[in-house]
Structure 1
Amino acid sequence: MFTGIIEEVGRIIAIRRGQKAITLVIGAHKITSDMKLGDSIAVNGVCLTVTKFNGQQFQADIMAETLHKTSFEKLVIGDQVNLERAMSMNDRFGGHIVTGHVDATGTIVKREKDGIADWFQIRAPKEIMKLIFTKGSIAIDGISLTVAKKEKETFSVSVIPHTKSETTLSDKQSGSIVNLENDYVAKCIVQTMWNQGIVKEE
């Protein structure tokens, strides 16, 4: 489990493409300090398993289903990625519950300044939008953010300067593709209501 509080921005060093899978080599320093083989690391919000590492980089495999659901197929060498280690039980819970199981991708349709903040408007698929609500939580490329506004096909978040500077959001513009994970608690509640027939699944 993760919290959506990014610990480090890493960089893609190598991409090894195989049949229906890829291996990523990611440069990092902070999160590799206590890394172990088999550790779970959220990379742009996707839970990946460490298969090899040293003090300056680590390696992870990505299967076809993950490639299909995420923005990883569009990664190129040199791209920056958000990194977070799995939550320790004695850590502060600064964000919200993030599982690392991305639901879909969205597209940034507008970015604009509002005082010191940056507003990002994101178009998302229907299955994402029906679980989004104003003041609810959402993970965008693994970053825990609060939904400030919801419309029919888009939602917006307001990003403070610290979050922008400490994550890959500083480089995102209109047209950028981002990984989205709906709030886990909201998903559990709605799925239970569907299963019990309290509400009909759309």
Structure 2
Amino acid sequence: MFTGIVEEIGRVRDLEVRGEDARLVLGARKVLDGTKIGDSVAVNGVCLTVVELLADGLVVEMMAETLRVTNLGRLRPGEGVNLERALRLGDRLGGHLVSGHVDGVVRILERRKVGAAEEIVLNLPPHLSPYVVAKGSVALDGTSLTVITCRRDNFSVGLIPHTLRETVLGYKRVGDEVNIEVDWLARYLEGLLRARNSEGSAGLTMEFLARHGFV
């Protein structure tokens, strides 16, 4: 598990695609502290296993599903990526619980200045729209953010100056794709509702959850 609080921007040194798999070499510093081979690290929000440690970087491997669902297979040498070490028991949860299991990619449709901050608008695929709600949480390229507005086919989030400086979202342009992971709580609620409905129970409904502030 992760928190969505990016620790540093790493740099892509090499991406070697080997058939359906790939090997990614990253330059990094901060996330190397305490990291061992076999540990998990989030790369643009994707949970990957460290297979090799370098003096000033690390190596991870990706399988076909990761390349299909995320933006990692389109990385280029020199490009920045958000990095975060896995959450340890006892750590502060500064963002929200992020699993590192990305749901797909979304495209930046618009960026606009709002004072010192920026608001970005992104497309919202139909299969993810039930899980994205205003004031809810979402992870974009592994960055924990709060949804500002949510419409049928798009949503927006705000980026404060710190986020613009310390994550790759500050460098993304209109048309770029970012990884998205919806709040896992929304998925659990959907599964619970589906199970209850299939059993014919009316004890837990969307109206009940909304009335008590869950959705």
Smaller-chain TM-score bracket: over 0.9
In 2, Cα distance between equivalents of 1:54 and 1:187: 37
The residue type paired with residue 121 of structure 2 is Q
Deviates more, 1:44-53 or 1:55-64: 55-64
Whole-Å separation in 1 of the counterparts to 2:30 and 2:88: 16
C-alpha distance in structure 2 between counterparts of 1:91 and 1:180, whole Å: 24
Equivalent position of 2:182 in the other structure: 182
Looking at structure 2, the residues matched to 102 and 11 of structure 1 have their Cα atoms a distance apart, in angstroms, of 20
SS at match of 1:125: coil
- Are residues 1:129 and 2:129 paired? yes
In 1, the alpha carbon distance for the partners of 2:64 and 2:97 equals: 25
How far did residue 197 of structure 1 move?
2.3
Secondary structure of the 1:127 match is coil
Superposition pairs of residues 78-117 of structure 1, within 5 angstroms: 78-117=78-117
Alignment of 1:34-183 (within 5 A): 34-183=34-183
Structure with the larger helix share: 2
Letter paired with 2:25: V
Count of equivalent residues: 200
Identity in percent: 42
Deviation at 1:102, TM superposition (A): 0.2
Contact 2:124 2:152 in 1 (8 A): no
Cα distance in structure 2, aligned partners of 1:147 and 1:127: 17
- SS of residue matched to 2:60: strand
Residues 104-148 of structure 1, C-alpha deviations (whole Å, 9 max, x = no match): 110000001011110100002111112111000000000000000
1:191 equivalent in structure 2? 191
1:74 shift after superposition: 1.3
CA RMSD, Structure 1 to Structure 2 (Å): 1.3
What CA distance in whole angstroms lies between the structure 2 residues aligned with 1:193 and 1:66?
A: 29
Q: Deviations over 1:11-45 (max 9, x none)?
A: 00011110101100000001112110100000000
Deviations 1:31-73 (A, max 9, x none): 1121101000000000000000123110011000111110112
The equivalent of 1:25 in structure 2 is 25
Following the alignment from structure 1 to structure 2, what is the Cα–Cα distance between the partners of residues 119 and 48?
29
Which residue type is aligned with residue 92 of structure 2? R
Post-superposition shift, 1:170? 1.2
SS at match of 2:163: helix
Partner of 2:105, secondary structure, is strand
- CA distance in structure 2 between the aligned counterparts of 1:101 and 1:154, rounded to whole angstroms: 21
Counterpart CA distance in 2 for 1:195 and 1:83 is: 36
Structure 2 unaligned blocks of 5 or more: 199-204, 207-215
| CA distance in structure 2 between the aligned counterparts of 1:64 and 1:20, rounded to whole angstroms | 5
| Structure 1 unmatched ranges of 5 or more | none
CA distance in 1, matches of 2:55, 2:85: 15
Indicate the residue corresponding to 2:209 in structure 1.
none
> Which has the higher Rg, Structure 1 or Structure 2?
2
